[in-house]
Amino acid sequence: MKAEIFSIGTELLMGELTDTNGSWIAAQLPSLGIQMQWLSIIGDDLEMLAEAFQRGLQRSDIIFTTGGLGPTQDDLTREAVARALGETPAVQQEVVENLEKYFLGRGMVMPPRNIKQAHLIPSARFIPNPNGTAPGWWSVQNGKIIVNMPGPPGEMHPMWENQIAPQLRQIVNDEVTITRNIKTLGMSEAAVDEVISEFFGKENPYLGIYSKADGIHLRVIARAEDEATARQMIRPVEDAIVDRLGSYIWGYDDETPEQSTGHALREHGLTVATMESCTGGFLANSITDVPHSSAYYKGGVVTHTDQLMLDNSVSAGTIQKYGAVSAETAEAMATAIRDKLGADFGIGITGEAGPDAPEGKPVGQVYIAIAGPGEVKGFEMRVPPRRIVIKRRASNTALTELRKMITELVGAGTINKSVE
């Protein structure tokens, strides 16, 4: 089954918003046996939208759209589908009543313009949206399918997962594609390539290698008649990669550094505290983005001045001798915050985020230290001199190195803690 995706909204064309929906939907399709062919961003123009639907129906089996289902004049997705299919929308009183209940539950009266969201054409059925006012449409004409979803990801994702994907699994019988992402840190792309070189160049399963902000990612892709068979094809390649790169692997699939490291901390009943300067709290924010992080995150401080470092037990002698941006100061920061907050691990990050470099270190120079039970490990990085890149890469490196350190200490028997 061939598919295409329309991300609808002039705000996307103008660069006011970034289209994340299109890539998210595209990532869901391979495991459903749906072949992605086109991804288009279309403005809020009825003629252009109707033309796009007509063209899409000629070349694709199914069209997925996000956006344009609101109650305002520039929300035109429904009208465009109706025009493309040659049908006339009509108000569905049951949906009007549901919308009125939605607003009433929030202490509001439904504005008259929201009646627009209760229109439906004969070829379509509503897709309920318990998270907003815009129900989706599932239209079928001459064997072709159009699935219209709301634009906000908080509404679109649950609609897809709870209603659309289950329906697609019932009607799609094509070959499925399964992917497995293996994420590494600590080896260059060339070094990883050399270690597993014999797996490249094969069509099924296919192995790709990608350089990312959090390390080198390996993606194994297999196509088969069913998911179980595809996963069996991936297994020997994955096992070989794990056998050769095991100590450098920090995560899989959609796992983030903060999720992977948080899981390791919780699994072994460990805690961490942070002291950071050039990352400006980015590391703490990443850690606390994970639910239940309070179980293992003791807290942290942002020390943008020498005085703040001194106030948090970093010695004046270390700063005076080596400078605030130095490996020695990063180690002192990690040790100080670990001891001050009573954590098992402390992370210290210091560096030059620019644009000035008062200590003469190049912008993008970063020092990271992790103080654990009985040892302190330091890491030095040179990052492209862009502030957000420095923050992200330094934080990702600190987290993935902490996870690696936990794995090594547990393997050596140094850490015996575990969750009851």
Cα gap 318→82, rounded to integer Å? 71
CATH number of the structural domain 257-411: 3.90.950.20
pLDDT of 177 > 90? The answer is no
Show me where the domains of the chain are located. 2-171, 176-252, 257-411
> Does the structural domain 176-252 have CATH classification 3.40.50.300?
no
pLDDT at 290 over 60: yes
Taking only the tens place, the pLDDT of each residue in 295-328 is 999 999 999 899 999 999 999 999 999 999 999 9
The whole-number pLDDT of residue 102 equals 87
Q: How confident is the model at residue 172 (pLDDT cuts 50, 70, 90)?
A: confident
At 32, the pLDDT band (50, 70, 90 cuts) reads confident
**Torsion sign across C-alpha atoms 21, 26, 27, 31:** positive
- Whole-model pTM over 0.85: no
Q: Residues 262-270: what's their mean pLDDT? A: 95
Q: What is the C-alpha separation between 65 and 9, in angstroms, rounded?
A: 11
- Correct CATH for 2-171 of 3.40.50.970, 3.40.50.2020, 3.40.190.10, 3.40.980.10: 3.40.980.10
Among 186, 243, 177, 229, residue whose Cα is nearest residue 208: 177
Q: What is the DSSP string of 140-203?
A: EETTEEEEEE-SSHHHHHHHIIIIIHHHHHHH--SPEEEEEEEEE-SS-HHHHHHHTGGGTT-S
The rounded mean pLDDT for the chain is 93
Does the pLDDT of residue 259 top 60, yes or no? yes
The CA-based angle 156-159-163, given to 5 degrees, is 155
What is the tens place of the pLDDT at every residue in 370-392? 999 989 999 999 988 889 989 99
Distance CA 367, CA 277 (A): 10
pLDDT tens by residue, 200-257? 988 899 999 998 878 899 999 998 988 899 999 999 999 999 999 988 899 999 899 9
User: Identical fold at 176-252 and 257-411?
Assistant: no
Which pLDDT value is given to residue 420?
42
